[in-house]
Amino acid sequence: MVEELTIGNFDEIGAMDRRNDRLVAATNTGRLGVWEIHGETMSLFSEEQRPPELGAANLTVNDLAISPRSSGEVALATADAILIYDIGKLAVQYALEGFSGDVATRVDWGGPNGNLIAAGWFGSIGQMWNTLSREELLQVGGSPGTSVATSAVTFSPDGRTVAYGSTNGQVTLWDTNSSEFIQSLEQHTGQVRSLEYSADGSELVSGSTDTNAIIWEVETGNPIYILEGHASFVTHSAWSPAGNLIATGDAQGVVILWDTQTGEAVIQLRTNTSAEPINGLAWSEDGYSLITASARRISMWRIDLTVEVDESEEPPAEDVTVTPTEEGP
């Protein structure tokens, strides 16, 4: 591990996202921390008290997404709405309304021109909006209040496709221009909690409450590898910039790195000693560092797979753990 950051008096971290050299984390009381990433280090750019616009002290931010058009804007998934928040102005710009009494659990910001926001709701269907017109363009799933809800969402790198994961284990792909259904990916036996495309958009990784992650070939809709090794729900996944590694995090604070060419586990990280869930994963732009978020801790890990290992003397990859050392008070 290169550096471990403790978030002062922040409450439990509920969400984290990185775009370019900026990292944003949000807590379950609506407070935000913003960092600039410099190679193997991170410096605190701003630590913001919860502005009045973010509402009551018990506001929960379940997910967030940084705008591809401006790293100063973030979409916050909260109860009842997706809030578009300007970091520089410390103000909510506008809200994209969901369903009364429901909670937004996942959000992503993408599209061909970076002007689309997609969200999933705890007890309702998925939605997609145009951020310029604020018009709703797509609803995915059944009627609000049905037993099947959206639990994960991500845009393809070119923004032409949006993928939704559901509580029934399905992943559905939709055309962002026409809002037409493309195909369904079916293999999981539990809720789909995480989705992310490879950098070239040819593959998609999904994580589920069935404790597995799956690498899919997007063109055919067929699974390439089923990644088995977690003992708890897979909550987040992140594809390395080079595409050779996938990081998956679970509800007990364990992160596993997988070789995308073989589907084999290569490193296991125990990010905390309290079995607290992983609430965010992000790679640095150069792909040499992995950033993990759980509870009150954000850690940066240096990933080096160049050292030759004598397999006759070392334990198998799934037993290899790296425990962070405390820094600071």
| pLDDT top residue among 54 and 160 | 160
Question: Following DSSP, what letter does each residue of 191-255 receive, concatenated?
Answer: -EEEEEE-TTSSEEEEEETTSEEEEEETTTTEEEEEEE--SS-EEEEEE-TTSSEEEEEETTSEE
Per the listing, tokens 């607290």 go with 276
Average pLDDT of every residue of the chain: 83
Model-level pTM? 0.86
Which of these, 297, 223, 258, 308, lies nearest to 42 by C-alpha position?
297
- For residue range 169-191, what is the model confidence (pLDDT) as tens digits? 999 999 999 999 999 999 999 99
User: Using 50, 70 and 90 to split pLDDT, how confident is the model at 265?
Assistant: very high
| The domain made up of 3-322 is a member of CATH 3.40.50.720 | no
- Helix or strand (DSSP H, E) at 166: strand 161-166
Cβ proximity of 206 and 218 under 8 Å: no
- For residue range 297-308, what is the model confidence (pLDDT) as tens digits? 888 888 877 644
Per-residue pLDDT, averaged over 35-62, amounts to 59
Token pair for residue 197? 């495309």
Token pair for residue 66? 């940084």
Cα separation, 131 vs 143, in Å, equals: 24
Contacts of 106 (CB under 8 A, 6+ apart): 62, 63, 77, 119, 120, 150, 151, 152, 153
Token pair for residue 72? 């100063």
What is the CA angle 292-160-181, rounded to 5? 105
- For residue range 217-263, what is the model confidence (pLDDT) as tens digits? 999 999 999 999 999 999 999 999 999 999 999 999 999 999 999 99
Pairing of strands 116-121, 104-110: antiparallel
- For residue range 13-27, what is the model confidence (pLDDT) as tens digits? 889 999 988 889 887
Cβ proximity of 164 and 121 under 8 Å: no
User: Using 50, 70 and 90 to split pLDDT, how confident is the model at 114?
Assistant: very high
Contacts of 172 (CB under 8 A, 6+ apart): 140, 163, 164, 166, 181, 182, 183, 184, 185
Cα separation, 19 vs 169, in Å, equals: 28
Provide the 8-state DSSP code for 52.
G
Which of these, 229, 246, 228, 245, lies nearest to 237 by C-alpha position?
246
What pLDDT sits at residue 42?
55
